[in-house]
Chains A and B, each alone.
Chain A
Amino acid sequence: MSASQFASASQVQAKRSRRNALRSYLGAYGFMAPAGVLVVIFFLIPVAIILYLSVTNLASSNFTSDLAKMEYIGLRNYETLLNDQFARKIFFNTIFYVLFTLSIFNVSLALIVSLLTTHIDRGAGFVFRALWILPRITSPVVYILIWKRMMAEAPFGILNQFNDWLGTPTYNYIATNPWVFVVVVNGFIGLSFGMIIFTSAIESIPKDLLNASLVDGSSKLQRIRYVILPLIRWPLLFVFTYQTLSLLTSFVEIQLLTDGGPGLYRTEVWSLTAYHRALSNYFGNAQWGYGSAFAVLLVLIGVVLAVIYMRVFRFDELVAEPRVETL
C-alpha cells in the first residue's frame, strides 16, 4: 500500500469512526429525548415561570395569566422574605423535618425492615412488607384522619379511651408533641419507598455470595455488615438522595395534620409556606408572587443539595461501567 493510499484509507476510517460516534451520540440522546422533553415541560419551564412570578407582585387582587401584564417589582419579594421574622425558623424547621424523617425512617428503619423481612420466612416477610406499604397506598386525607382519630383528646381519641379506662391522664397528643407526629406520620409513608428498593437490592444479591460468607464462618450480622451493606451501597445512596429532595418539597401530610402549627409556625416547613402564601388563604387575596419567591429558594436548595450529593457520593463512579468491562 502506497503512502497516499494509506492516508486515504485512514481518512475513510476516521470519517467512519466519527460517523459511528455521531450515530452513537444521536442514539443516546434519542433515547433520552422523551425523558428530556418531560423534564423541560414539567421542571424547567415551571421553574422559569415561578422565577418570573417571584419578581412580580402578582396576587388575587391583580391576578392575570398574561406575563406581560404582571407588574415587575425586582427583588422586593425576596427582600420581604429575608426580612420575615419567621423565615429563619421555617428554614430550620425544614432542615429538622428532613433530617429526622430521613435518618430515622426513610433510610434506617427502611433498611432494618428490609433486612429483617429478607431474613425470615419469605411469605411472612412479604406480609410484613405489605403492611408497611399501607400508609403509602392510603389516601393522605384518610391516612391523616386515622391518625387524628387515634390521637384526638378525650373522649374522642382511641388512645385516650385506654387512658380513661386505666385512670391515667388524657392528652391532646398531636398538639403536645407536634414534631413527633409530623416525623412519624411522614416517616411511615417514606419508609416503604426505601424498603422496596432495599429489599429488591438484597434479593438480587447472588445467593452464592451470601452462602459463601456463611460457609466461611461469618455470623448473619457479619454477613450484613461485610457482604450485604457494601453490595447495596448504590441503592442506599439513591434512596438517601431521592428522599431528601422528596421530603424538602412534601407538605400535604403536615398541612392536614397540624397546618404548620400549633403556635408560631411550630411545624411549618418551607414548601408549606409557599403553598400558604400562593395558594391558600382563608380571606382570599393569595400572594402568588411572594409565594413564588419561597418556591424559587426551595428549587435552589434542592439543586444545590443534588449537586453536593452527586459529588460527595461519587454518583458518576457508581454508575460507571465496571472496570473489568473496560479492560
Chain B
Amino acid sequence: MLRRLLFAFVLLLLLSSVAGIALAQDAVSITVRCKASPPEEDWRCNSFAVVEEEVEAELGIEIDLNLIQDNAGWGDYKNEFVLASEAGEAPDIILSGHEDIGAWAPAGFIIPLDDVIGMHSQFDDIVPSLWDSHGYAGQIWGIPQDAEARPIFYSKLLLRDLGWSEEDIESLPDRVAAGEWTFADMLATAEAAIDEGIVDEGNGWWHRPSNGPDFLYYYYGHGGEVLDMEGNLVVDSEALVATYELLGGAVASGVLRSDVIGLDWNEVWHPTVAQADTVLFAAGGTWNWPNWSINYVADKGGDEFLFENIGLTLIPAMATGNAITLTHPLTYMISSGSENPDVALELIAAITTPEHNNKHAIDSFHLGILNAQLQSEAYANNRLLSSAHYMLDHTTALPNHPGWNAWSNAYFLGIQAVETGEADAAGAADIAIAQMQNELGDGITVR
C-alpha cells in the first residue's frame, strides 16, 4: 500500500513538473516599469494586470506579467533604464516622459513604432496633437499614456477676502483663456493682496520649487522657441531676457519669494498651497489636486474643500497675448531588448481604451488621450476633468532633443540667478546663453 502511494506521489510530481515546464516554455514574459505616485496613479501599471487575460485569450498565449512600480526620482528612474538597457535587462515596456525619446531613440534603447501602430485600431483614436511630442527623426517612438495641464491654481478664499465677487472668481478661467486677464493682471492682483495684508510678502505667487517642465511656458509665453524648423536647438535672447525680467520683477515687487526654489515639495510647498489660506496663486499641475485631496486636506473635506476654495486656470497671457499651458505626456516605450515587442504593444493597445484610461484620468486628474474618452460619460461628467480639458487646446510641450537637458539646465540657472538677485535679467540671460554655448557648442543657435 505504502509503495503504491509513493509511486502515485512520484508520478504526480513528475507530471506536474512536466506541465510546469511546458507552461513555462509557452509563457511570454513581459516586464513593465512605471513611475507613479500611489494611490492615485496606480493605474499606470495596474491596468496591464486588468487586460492580461484578455490579451492572453486574443493571442492564445500565456503571459508572465511583471509590474514594477515605484515613485523614484526622475533622474534615478531614467538612469536605471539606461543602465538596464546596456546590461540587457531592460523592461519590455518603460513609462517615462516623452522627452526621453530624444536621448533613448538615438542610443537605440527603444524601438520605432510607425510600422506597427496602424495594426491597432485603438491608437487611431488618440488625440492627434499628442503624437507631436512622440516623434524623433521623423518616426514615432512611444504611445501616449496620459496628458495633463499645468495650470495656475488660485485661492478662491483669498480672492474673496480681496473683495472679488463669486462671479468674478468663477469667470476667471474664461477671462484668462480669452486673453482678457493677463499675467500682468495676476501680478497686480497679487501685489494688491500683499498691500492689503491678505497674504504675506512673497506669497502672492509660487511657482514650482525645483527644476522641471513648467518653467518653459514663461519662455514660450514671451515668444521663445527651443527648436527651429529643422529641429535644431535655438535660444531667443529677447524672450529669455523678458522671461527673466518677469520672474526677477515678481521677486523685486514682493509677489514671489526669492527662496521659492529650494522649498521642500512635500514638507512645505504642497501643505501650504493646499490649505488655500496662505498663497494666492500657485503654478502647479492638474495631478496635484488628488494628491492634496488625499494627503493634505482630507480632514477638511478633501475634494469638496478644494472645489470650494481653489480654482484652476490657464497660465495668463504674457507677451504673445495668448494664455497657455504645457502638457508633458508620459509615454509607453518598448525596449529594443524586448524579446516580445508585439505582445508588449498588444498589451499597451489593450489599455489604450476610454474604459481603462478614464480610471487613470479620474483618479489622478490627468487629461484624457482618446477622442472617445473625451466624449465618454465618465469623463465628461467628471467635474475636475471637465473644468480642465479645454486647456489641451492651449497647450505646448517640451522638445525631444538630446541637448534638451543642457538647454533646460542652463535656462534654470538663469532663473535661479535672477530670483536670488545674483544677476539682473540681462545678466541672467548672459549666464544661461554662455552655459548653453559652452556645453552645446555648435549645437545651439543664439537668435
Contact = CB atoms under 8 A, between A and B. Distances in A.
B356 interface: no
Contacts of B406: 287
Contacts of A156: 267-268, 271
A152 interface: yes
A266 to B, nearest CB: 8
B431 interface: yes
Interface in A151-208: 152-153, 156, 172, 175-176
Contact of A153 (B268, B409, B439): B268
A324 to B, nearest CB: 57
Interface string B428-443: 0001001100110000
Nearest to A288: B82
Contacts, number: 119
A139 interface: no
Nearest to A76: B441
Residues of A in contact with B, size category: 35 or more
Given A83-B438, A264-B417, A282 B259 contact: no
Contacts of B78: 60, 281, 284, 286
A264 B416 contact: yes
A262 interface: yes
Contacts of A176: 259
A261 B82 contact: no
Contact of B74 (A61, A264, A284, A290): A284
Interface in B377-397: none
A155 B86 CA distance: 47
Given A60-B82, A156-B268, A280 B102 contact: no
Given A60-B104, A62-B106, A152 B268 contact: yes
Interface size range on B against A: 35 or more
Q: Which of A59, A153, A262, A282 has the most CB of B within 10 A?
A: A282
A84 B106 CA distance: 27
Contact of A262 (B74, B97, B99, B261): B261
B435 A85 contact: yes
Contact of A149 (B76, B267, B423): B267
B37 interface: no
B99 A283 contact: yes
Interface string B256-279: 000101101001100100000000
B212 interface: yes
A285 B79 contact: no
Contacts of B219: none
Contacts of A152: 264, 267-268
Given A284-B82, A286-B82, 12 more contacts: A61-B402, A80-B439, A148-B267, A152-B267, A261-B416, A262-B259, A263-B419, A280-B75, A282-B210, A284-B100, A285-B405, A286-B405
Interface of A: 59-65, 80, 83-85, 148-149, 152-153, 156, 172, 175-176, 258-259, 261-264, 279-287, 290
